[in-house]
Structure formats: structure tokens, C-alpha cells
Amino acid sequence: MSQRPPLPSFTRESAIEKVRLAEDGWNSRDPERVSLAYTVDSQWRNRAEFISGRAEIRAFLARKWHRELDYRLIKELWTFAEHRIAVRFAYEWHDDSGNWYRSYGNENWEFDADGLMRRRLACINDAPIAEADRRFHWPLGRRPDDHPALSDFGF
């Protein structure tokens, strides 16, 4: 098992970096790449779904990004301590009928000593939006450094 810096215990700067790296990974929409940030026995609660281990994480993410098209995510640090980080986030996506949504949520993360996430607890709500109300307009992939952050939108 390899390390995934930054490692706990987190400072404000290292927690912000960890959040941005997670955002970048999820914006890749690559289930294999994203799953490697989690321990092999990682435990998740995502909405009302309970997920255990990397294989289930990969399968969940593949289903997610097959359904949530043109996915773009922004995460923001809420708080941190030792080996835990709390974030808030929003992402925009559309379904295969062209209906757009903005999903809002909070996550609580717990890391092992190697910087791999061993627990992820997520609460998420979906709000239908008009395509004209979208705010996340960068090309698919990593959010550009000069793109507004979550707080800039007042979300």
C-alpha cells in the first residue's frame, strides 16, 4: 500500500490541499483512479447507500458517472482535526434526458496514517436547475485555478 500525501495530522494548508486533490480526482470521472485514494476496506455512506471496499467504490462511481453526465464538482474545506476533514460541496450534472441538477452536500472523511481515506460519510441533496442557471462552465476535468470557488457563488 502506498502513501497518499498530504498525510495526517493535517494543518489548515494540508487539509485544503487534500480537499483540492480529492476534487481533482472526482472531476476526472475515472473510477479506478478515484478508488485508489481509499483504503481497500474503506467504508462509505453515500446518501442512503452503504458501500464497503474499493471494488464496491469503483462499481458505485462507474454507475454514478454513467448516470450523472457532464459532471463538474467543487469541494471546499469546512473544518479539520488530526486525521479527519469535513467538506461541503456542490456539483452540476444532467441526466440522459437533458435535465440539469445541482447537487449540494457535506462529507466527513477519516484517514489512515498513509493518507488513504478509510471512512466517507456523505449527505447530498439534488436541486433541479435550468441549463441557463449553471455556474460550473470549465471544460470537463480539473477545475481551473482561476475559476470561482464554492463560496464565491454563495452556495
Range of the domain at 102: 12-135
User: DSSP code of 11?
Assistant: P
Instruction: Flag whether 1 is in a domain.
Output: no
Asked whether residue 137 carries a pLDDT value surpassing 80, the answer given is: yes
Mean pLDDT value across residues 18-45: 98
What is the average pLDDT value for the chain, to the nearest integer?
97
Task: Kindly write down the DSSP assignment for every residue of 93-145, as one continuous string.
Answer: EE-TT--EEEEEEEEEEEE-TTS-EEEEEEEEEEEEE-GGG----SPSSSPPT
Under 8 Å between Cβ of 39 and 117:
yes
pTM: 0.97
Q: Structural domain tally of the chain?
A: 1
Instruction: Flag whether 57 is in a domain.
Output: yes
pLDDT value at residue 2: 86
Asked whether residue 47 carries a pLDDT value surpassing 70, the answer given is: yes
pLDDT value at residue 4: 96
Q: List, in order, residues 6 or more apart from 118 with CB less than 8 Å away.
A: 38, 39, 41, 42, 43, 110, 111, 112
113 phi and psi angles, rounded to 5 deg: -65, -20
The Cα–Cα gap between 155 and 151 comes to: 6
Q: Would you give the distance in Å from CA 117 to the centre of its chain?
A: 12
pLDDT value at residue 48: 94
Instruction: Flag whether 126 is in a domain.
Output: yes
Asked whether residue 146 carries a pLDDT value surpassing 60, the answer given is: yes
Asked whether residue 1 carries a pLDDT value surpassing 90, the answer given is: no
Asked whether residue 102 carries a pLDDT value surpassing 90, the answer given is: yes
pLDDT value at residue 25: 98
Mean pLDDT value across residues 63-89: 98
126: domain CATH number? 3.10.450.50
Which one has a higher pLDDT value, 1 or 62? 62
pLDDT value at residue 132: 98
Mean pLDDT value across residues 92-109: 98
Instruction: Flag whether 122 is in a domain.
Output: yes
Helix (H/G/I), strand (E/B), else coil: 38: strand
Under 8 Å between Cβ of 80 and 91:
no
Helix (H/G/I), strand (E/B), else coil: 63: helix
Mean pLDDT value across residues 12-37: 98
